Amino acid sequence: MPGAPGAPILGLPFEAWPLDDQERWEAAFRAPEDPFDEAGPASHLALTTRRALRSSYGIFLGFIARNHSELFVRPPATRLDRELAAEYLAWRRTTCANVTLANDLHLLRRALGYMCPTADLSWLRPIANRIAALAQPKSTNFHLVTSDQLYALGMDLMDRADQTNPVCKVDAFQYRDGLIIALLALIPLRRRTLAALRIGEHLQKSGHLWVLDIPAADTKAGRSLDYPVSENLSARIDRYLAKFRDVIAGASKHDGLWASSQGRPMHHGAIYDAVQRRTRKELGFPVNLHRFRHGAATFWSIHDPVNVRGAKDLLGHSSFGTTEKHYIRAQSRLAGRTLARAVGSTRR
């Protein structure tokens, strides 16, 4: 039976997991000790992602321990079916809202997928998406997203695409789109500038990090822009170039960062459409490219209002007047709210 309303939701600690679960988990995250060792399918994930996955799976095991302990003798992939999932969701709903519930279900699916790579868990994703859609306000006036949310979405898209080997075109396109979303969350370029990025010209390697060096001719304000790319995102660019980009037909014939299925760099309109499709599918509503700029200004105004004028330079505005409207909107619409975390604390 589901837990009583208001009952605390406690996850099962790792040392209390069934031995099979512990061994599968450790194998999934095993890092190779030398080039001849095979890495676990989740060995590339950031520490914060690992913690989130472990927490979600621990909560699921806690539910089983309280309600269906007889299932512990079965392999992890065979415990969860639609009937048990419905009961689990009813149990979780006693203490969390739909947004948390949908995210938890996505994490549970990913955790099980890493532990049991051959298991078919695709049926869980549309259920989580439908729950997430229920949590979204109907009016687009309230579809306010900030940079931390968009960055987390981009990283999650890449993580999910980077689970198979060899890579197929679907994975390559998803990784590319996730990288676009994560990059825009940190460096909210205008669509034409984004589409114009060329490897070795606008995107240059400096040590183990990447740098965006954009000349004035490629910006709307006629000002050159120079952005360092974070260590985490630089590593994702490395992986995109090494593993995914060349899977897209014709990518080796041009130096455009964003390869398309047409054998040429993506047009800014195609980038716009791809991002809209991904965000609509994942968030329940579309986020166009310009809203990444709104999101950056809003995020800055909430977390560091004293230095909000710095957003002018981030966005490439010629004056603070253009940026200021986002500051006013954020303060009026989000007054009294506290964001849970900043971009740097969600993914390191």
- Which residue pairs, CB below 8 angstroms and at least 24 apart, start in 126-131? 127/85, 128/102, 128/103, 129/102, 129/281, 129/282, 129/284, 131/89, 131/98, 131/101, 131/102, 131/105
pLDDT digits (tens, 9 = 90+) for 131-172: 887 865 444 444 567 777 888 899 999 999 998 888 999 999
For residue 312, what pLDDT band results from cuts at 50, 70 and 90? very low
Query: Most distant CA pair in the chain: distance in Å?
Result: 67
Measure the CA dihedral 133/270/170/240, to 10°: -110
Q: How confident is the model over 235-249, as a mean pLDDT?
A: 96
Q: How confident is the model over 274-278, as a mean pLDDT?
A: 93
User: Lowest mean pLDDT: which of 2-16, 100-114, 187-201, 234-248?
Assistant: 2-16
pLDDT at 70: 94
Measure the CA dihedral 2/10/124/347, to 10°: 160
The CATH homologous superfamily of the domain defined by 142-346: Intergrase catalytic core (1.10.443.10)
For residue 221, what pLDDT band results from cuts at 50, 70 and 90? low
Question: Which residues lie below 8 Å from residue 221, measured CB to CB, with a gap of 6+?
Answer: 316, 317, 318
Neighbours of 247 (CB within 10 A): 18
pLDDT at 14: 92
pLDDT at 287 over 50: yes
Q: Order of strands across the sheet with 225-228?
A: 203-206, 209-214, 225-228
Rounded to whole angstroms, how far apart are CA atoms 66 and 231?
Answer: 42
pLDDT at 282 over 60: yes
Domain boundaries, the chain: 14-135, 142-346
pLDDT at 333 over 50: no
